[in-house]
Structure 1
């Protein structure tokens, strides 16, 4: 026994390891079994939760609407690769359609409008020629008797077949000649010194018929009574565009035209061109034949007023003067305002709203055709319409003949829309600033920031 104890003492480490190692293996197995169970249960729980989430997951697929009032197409379902690809293709197609619509509307709105003086706007290509180009532009829109230049507006009226009634002086002369000749004939036939009542009635009828015949002849030569005299510079008070503008001989020589004025003249020209084009369309049948006044929809343009852009230009003497504007800028992205009009549209960062007032003599039966023509020509909407009677005999005395149909006087308030996507690149920087459109300088500051 002593030998055994002695051996154990001399080999104590071996004896301890012999006891500890098996014990630790047994205890490790016991505890590891418990740990494995806890880990397994935790992992099973996590896997179960993840599976439940995947199983209950749903994706909302959306195809956006394009038009106001149109509902977007939505579908909520579990993720599906085929469905995802389908909705992706449909969204891309919608995007292409929207882009195409925008491009088409812009083309429709721009029509054939170009700058009358492209070397001057939006900025002079050659600054040393700026002043002469400004006066050249003024001569185009206002006319210049010294240069023998007619206003471009004369050409616009001519293009729609417009003209005036018979020349009043020539008509009066013709009527007086007829009166003298017929009076002499009647007096010679009666042998008296004065016309009898019957002869006076006959003479009055002859003169009336001659006046009507002259007016009818003129009405067959033109499509609508209109001309520079139709422009009204007071329709919107001090916010009315002066068309044509004051000519060079009438304006103060020390104040040269500003770029802002030049752009305003060009813009007014676009507005007037569209309005007159719509009237011409109303007077033209589907086959392209333009009616004369007797058969036209619009027989006379008594008044035409254009609201100028909502900026007020002030120039100081000197060719290098800067343009200043009253603080009348338009808030970007402004919501519609129902108190403004039936459409509620106001100028925003996307477009400008310019109103036009018209007083027209119209065939009462064809009035709807005029409204259609406005919408077919450009982004124009009739906001208001007032109808009144026409004294056709008084107008006839002035040489205006409207035909046999029923006519009315129509006071029309028109709204025109001008998309800035194409107008802004033609604007001088000061005009952009006044309208709240970011200028190149502002873009540069943003880039530096």
Structure 2
């Protein structure tokens, strides 16, 4: 035993080398196993990242341009900084377009309108709450009368006016043929009188229509009654007068549109819109 120990001491490096050679396979197996596990984990992690990147490269988007007639645009693209910057540019342009459209719609709808009694809305002066309702009603009446004049509207001949006109025409006709009563007329003369009165009636209507754009009156468009205004400019009274104001604007738009339809024509006889029978809002 001593001889073995003596030999080992004398050949330390040889013994160490032999020991390493014996232990190396087992140690290398353990080390390589750990290295393989680390490499495998790294490969799997990179594969997951590649999958995520591939998913970003195939992101599905759909862009809806808010204009009638334009179909939505759909595509699969990579959502990157370049795409986001371009998307922001498009959104800014669309926002500017929508703002211009909103302003134009507001301008068209507003039409430089003015409140009939500016001091009434939104809050009237306390010292005027009893007098402003009457002022609002007078302003409303005046506005409707001016509207009727602006669109060239008026009343058609009344039944009484037509009867008076035809009676006068009949008297003139009888005087021309030296007859005093229709009972004295022959059958031929009676037919002539009927034809004459028919032409007179149509001519009277045509003459009345030449000076107007369409038939309409304050009664036809249902203007509030004189005794309908509230006692005070507060509470329900304010609601009623606000209702008067916006109803007037709506009727103004409707009647102005009808008048525009008739503008190319010289007479109600030829115009597409003859008469406003009734207008409720």
TM-score range, shorter chain: 0.7 to 0.9
* Corresponding pairs, count: 251
Tell me the distance in 2 between the aligned counterparts of 1:219 and 1:276.
Answer: 17
Match of 1:166 among 157, 182, 188: 157
Structure number, greater radius of gyration:
2
Higher strand proportion, which one?
A: 1
Alignment gaps of 5+ in structure 1: 1-25, 144-150, 232-242, 307-449
Specify whether residues 39 and 292 from structure 1 end up closer, same or farther in structure 2 by C-alpha distance, changes over 3 A only: same
Specify whether residues 185 and 45 from structure 1 end up closer, same or farther in structure 2 by C-alpha distance, changes over 3 A only: closer
- Given the two structures, how large is their TM-score scaled by the length of structure 2? 0.74
Please show how residues 16-55 of structure 1 align to structure 2 within 5 Å.
37=35, 39=38, 42-55=41-54
Q: CA deviation at 1:61?
A: 4.0
Tell me the distance in 2 between the aligned counterparts of 1:56 and 1:200.
Answer: 98
Question: Which residue matches 2:84?
Answer: 84
Question: Which residue matches 1:224?
Answer: 214
Specify whether residues 51 and 187 from structure 1 end up closer, same or farther in structure 2 by C-alpha distance, changes over 3 A only: closer
Match of 1:215 among 205, 221, 237: 205
Specify whether residues 75 and 166 from structure 1 end up closer, same or farther in structure 2 by C-alpha distance, changes over 3 A only: same
Q: CA deviation at 1:137?
A: 0.9
Specify whether residues 179 and 291 from structure 1 end up closer, same or farther in structure 2 by C-alpha distance, changes over 3 A only: closer
Question: Which residue matches 2:123?
Answer: 123
Q: Which has the higher contact order (CA 8 A, sep 6+)?
A: 2
1:187 aligns with 2:187: no
- 1:226-278 per-position Cα deviation (integer Å, ceiling 9, x unaligned): 112323xxxxxxxxxxx311213x66869987110011001110111111111
Give yes or no for contact 2:155–2:216 (8 Å, CA) kept in 1: yes
Question: Which residue matches 1:275?
Answer: 254
Please show how residues 66-105 of structure 1 align to structure 2 within 5 Å.
66-67=66-67, 70-105=70-105
Tell me the distance in 2 between the aligned counterparts of 1:229 and 1:98.
Answer: 42
Specify whether residues 35 and 297 from structure 1 end up closer, same or farther in structure 2 by C-alpha distance, changes over 3 A only: same
Q: CA deviation at 1:36?
A: 7.1
Give yes or no for contact 1:225–1:300 (8 Å, CA) kept in 2: yes
Tell me the distance in 1 between the aligned counterparts of 2:38 and 2:112.
Answer: 77
Q: What secondary structure is seen at the aligned counterpart in 1 of 2:131?
A: helix
Please show how residues 22-421 of structure 1 align to structure 2 within 5 Å.
37=35, 39=38, 42-58=41-57, 59-67=59-67, 70-124=70-124, 126-141=125-140, 143=141, 151-187=142-178, 194-231=184-221, 243-248=222-227, 258-285=237-264, 290-306=265-281
Higher helix proportion, which one?
A: 2
Q: CA deviation at 1:52?
A: 3.9
Alignment gaps of 5+ in structure 2: 1-22
